[in-house]
Amino acid sequence: MTARADLAFLFPGQGSQSIGMLGDLAERHAVVQKTFIEASAAMGEDLWKLASEGPESLMNRTDHTQPLMLTAGVAVWRAWQEGGGPWPGFMAGHSLGEYTALVCAESLDFPTAVELVRDRGRFMQEAVPEGEGGIAAVLGLDDDAIQSVCATATADGVVEPVNFNAPGQVVIAGHRQAVDAALEAAKAAGAKRAVHLPMSVPAHSSLMEPAAEKLAERLTRINIEMPAVPVVHNVDVQVSDSAEAIRQRLVDQVRSPVRWTECVQALVRRGAEQAVECGPGRVLAGLNRRIDRRINSQAIYDADTLASALNSLEEP
């Protein structure tokens, strides 16, 4: 396998799913539905029907969203491979997308990972009772201002920055009342926008400690290989040098912030000039443009974008 050192493949997390996703790609590339059939067998549910028809309420339930997004990313990667696309020099994924990256880098077995992320979603949902958690996006404040905003709201409970997605775009999470208070403080501090997101799980906050403990036990039963392509981790922006280090970083990730801005900056420092987002939507490609315009980003989510990416990045 020859990898292109200037190419990085990226995989999105929860939030990019939508009814009908990858429908066009599946019509023209049989590997997409084959991938969903394989995942459905592991999950014990028809994930392609869920992706195609919904309902949205089930699609957005985290123990379904995570296997769904993992499968979508793997399906796009396999379509890329079938098309003769080159291997990248690095991979990374946003939150749940880190698991997708590890599958595509041949570190995690795909059906095993489907079951693992289903359980991860369940552990996260169980960590905080329904209605007690909150998660919100704040736009237009720098990271230090976000830290200060959260500090002013701690009398109402836990609230912390959990996703550093791009300069001026940070997600906060914690107890619902504390998140409400932080949003008001953010508006007073001059945020351009401060709004709740449509999910109740305060992912990547310290409230996920119970989920991390369960995930740690679950991961002891999972075989992890060293990736064929280095994967940059969310939690510390590093590349693991052992399977045990990967296991520990996955545990830490669920209770720690996603340092996406730094991950993209690290990829650029390591020589990435091109980035391809694999999965429905183009969230990460948009974030990348705000992080560092030196990396040219494109997304694959249908047959046309796959053809365009293959054409622009074909081996010389």
Which residues are designated catalytic? 95, 204
Tell me how far the alpha carbon of residue 270 is from its chain's centroid: 21
CB 301 within 8 A of CB 279: yes
Element (H, E) at 180: helix 176-188
Retrieve residue 134's tokens.
């909150």
Look at strands 193-196 and 296-300 and give their pairing: unpaired
**Relative orientation angle of helices 62-82 and 97-104, to the nearest 10 degrees:** 30
B/e letters for 18-57, b = 16+ CB within 10 Å, e = fewer, are eeebbebbbeebebbbebbebbbebbebebbebbbeeeee
Q: Check residue 207 and report its DSSP letter.
A: G
| Beta-sheet strands, E only, within the chain | 3-11, 87-93, 133-139, 159-166, 169-175, 193-196, 231-232, 274-278, 296-300
